Structure 1
């Protein structure tokens, strides 16, 4: 797997990530969602540089111009709930893309540290021969992406897979690297070293879904 970690290069992403992590600023859920969306836009721009482009003739009021354009076979597939604002940021740049949504959540039986990832909803188009952007804002243990990969098997085989994340853990990235095709590319804004006993990223930013849309039962 090829890893594109943008934490290693200073850019405007630093500001968005700092605000997402800040315990005071992240209390503003609207700003939290907007910063997630902005990260999606920046990563989409960087990802777009690696796609296969085709020259297309464009007619202007005064003549014609050949312009290389990105492929139209992109599918953005996001994991709910935190994936929604991230999905929108990516869709802002790949606005002709098809869309898929996956419901996945951690089930901690009796509030124990151990958990299983339950995937109980898929809505996705045919992925055969397409460019799949698999959107998971928080890449913690990697087990959610593992279950999603298994769940998508019946939708066809993409020609290429790009995982797009806001923050990940070193452990989760290592695990995902071991289960996804070697040609997979990971686009991520920041990488943290640790996971706590419950599998949350440290220092991370907390529960992205709750911060974006409110706490759940």
Structure 2
């Protein structure tokens, strides 16, 4: 079962370079595993870009950066001085100034044609209005998908825009795709690149009333992080 978060390290680097003219004086906020993007790969990328230091939540995170041999200072707690680069590094800033660094993708694990008037998922909070096709997608709240997204958050199934249908379960959620076609193993984009017609994490934030940094920070370890650069 594929559960993948594709992280564009070059987008993070370019955003850092565009954010200030003095990166050595800046501190990058890498709390919560770099907002779910991966502490060490992101720290390496930003060090190469010239960022002077990192803000982390735990002593263990500071030790992991030091153990990796990243030659920069690490701050635990509040940054001592200089500009702080935070969610905007990852395209999580609601001003839409910077590209999103993460694309979250899962796969279809079941496809079923059902009749009108059928209840969907736990508690039957969604009922089909007409004969339709439902797909079961390999992500759930055990992966950090917030249950408040049930019946609200957008997804892309093939070329079909839909939304999560019914309550999110531990390992899966359902999408009603109407009369569109789908097959087992087809990819489902939870959020990604607006330029490709995909829902974005900022759309998710608007749809469910939860800040984008919270959405990415909650993504669990069952989701494989796939990085653009082969050296990280």
TM tier, smaller:
under 0.3
TM-score, normalised on structure 2?
0.25
TM-score, normalised on structure 1?
0.27
Q: Name the structure where helix makes up a greater proportion of residues.
A: 1
Q: Name the structure where strand makes up a greater proportion of residues.
A: 1
Based on CA coordinates, which of the two structures has the bigger radius of gyration? 2
